[in-house]
Structures are given as structure tokens and as C-alpha cells.
Amino acid sequence: MEISQYLVIASCAAVLIGMSKGGLPLVGMMSVPLLSLVMSPLKAVVLLLPVYIISDVVGVWLYRRNFSAINLKILVPASMVGVLIGWFTASMISDLTIKLIIGLVGVSFCLQTWFKRGQVEGALPASIPKGAFWGAVSGFTSFIAHAGGPPFQVFILPQKLPKAEFAGTATILFAFINLAKIGPYQNLSPYSLDDLMNAFVLVPFALLGTFLGAYLTKRIAEAWFFKLVQAGLFLVSLKLIWDAISG
């Protein structure tokens, strides 16, 4: 694999990460599959964590006034439990199994939402039991493959939050999750100086993506924003299912 080809693919992955932190959830999930074209999935997951964390700083600043406090109070502690479970079981569960489960959950949720006929439902309140479950799942799948988006979406979308509050809640939650992953990742696969330098090269692309994501989020109509979020969830879920089956 030529260095130039690696840089192009890795830079695109970093831009996607940044866009997800800027308010376009789920697009960041494509970063690991994309980078896996030029390296092992495990190495891709470890390499991208510093990029996620630096992008989180900008994303949290952008949405520092737009978030759902009640949801974060439920989801953050639950996600920490999920990270711990991921750390303790990382060597026992295959990436393909995780991808299949995430994909099936995402597709099921989208189909259930789209094919409800003649039903007008109001926004659902934040549920502690559901939030504890889906928060833990988000932490676990984020630890395994930076793929915590679909479980988070399944819990949060029925609440019909304003788009800025929705984006801010996602950004802040995954900032906490990514910080919690630093120690376990270092324990499982210690970072070398080369790893950190490779990640540092990708940071400018991630920062560009963060501001681009925030710009697009502000300019997309709210109704279309959530249609695009659901469409993204469906497509990413299908991709995860395909990866699991073909792998």
C-alpha cells in the first residue's frame, strides 16, 4: 500500500470523525471501516482514538450550551459500565459479532419508525431503565469498534430533541466515552511514538471536518436533519451487517 494512498484514506477517515463531532452523527462510524482498507481493524481503532479526543474538544466547545442534561446524567454513567465490559471482554468477542448486533438493532429501529402507519406519537421522555441499557451498549460498542452511534440513536431519537440539543448531547456523551477508553486502550495495545505521530498528522483534517459538520448542521432544516440521521443510521447498519456476513 503506497503512503500516498494511505494518507488519502486516513485523511478522509479523520474528516468523517470531525463531521460527526460537529453535529452529523453516524458519519464518524465509517472511519474505522474506511481505515481498515489499509490496516487491521484493531490498529485502526487504536490509531483513531487520539483523533476522536482532539475533535471532541472542539465539538464540546461548539455545543457547550446545547445539550440534554437529563440524558447525559443517565447515559454517561451507563456508558462507563459499557466501556468496562468492553475492556474485560475485548479478547472474547469478535468484531464481526458486534457489528452484526449493532446493524440488526439499527435496521430494526428504522423499519419500526418508518412503517408505523396512522400513528402520531409525541416525544417520549428520557427513561432511566432504557437509558441505562442503551448507554451501556453504546459504551461497549464504542470501545470495540468506535461504533456507539446506533445504540445511542435508538434511545435518543424517540425523544425528538431539537437538532442542536441532539447533536450536543451526542458530542458530549462520546467525549466522556473516548476519554474513558484511553487507559484500557493503552493497556491492551500500548501507543508507540509512531502511532501518536500518525494520529497527529490527521488532526488538522479532523478539525476541518468538525467545523464543516457544525456548519451543515446549522443550515439543514430540522425535519430534514432527522430524516438524514435516520437514513444514515439505516445505511451504516446495513454496512455493518454486510461486513459481519461477508467477514
Q: Could you give the dihedral angle defined by the CA atoms of residues 67, 73, 79 and 80, in that order, rounded to the nearest 10 degrees?
A: 120
pLDDT tens digits for 168-221? 999 999 999 999 999 998 888 788 888 788 888 899 999 999 888 888 888 888
Which of 55-85 are b and which e, b meaning 16 or more Cβ less than 10 Å from the residue's Cβ? Answer: bbebbbebbeebbbeebbebbbebbbebbbb
pLDDT at 174: 94
Residues with Cβ within 8 Å of 245's Cβ and at least 6 positions away in sequence, in order, are: 100
75, 130 in Cβ contact below 8 A? no
The residue assigned the cell 466501556 is: 83
pLDDT at residue 34, rounded to an integer = 77
Average pLDDT, the chain: 85
Say whether pTM exceeds 0.75: yes
Give the start-to-end residue ranges of the domains of the chain. 3-246
Q: How many angstroms separate the CA atoms of 50 and 42, rounded?
A: 14
* Gap between the Cα atoms of 92 and 98, Å rounded: 11
pLDDT tens digits for 24-67?
Answer: 766 777 787 777 777 777 778 888 888 889 888 888 998 899 99
pLDDT score for 117: 53
**Grid coordinates standing for 43?**
490498529
pLDDT recorded at residue 204: 92
CB-facing half-sphere around the CA of 27: CA atoms within 13 A? 23
21 contact partners, CB below 8 Å, separation of at least 6: 28, 52, 55, 56, 58, 59, 171, 174, 206, 209, 210, 213
Closest CA to 56 of 167, 171, 142, 203: 171
Location of C-alpha cell 481505515: 35
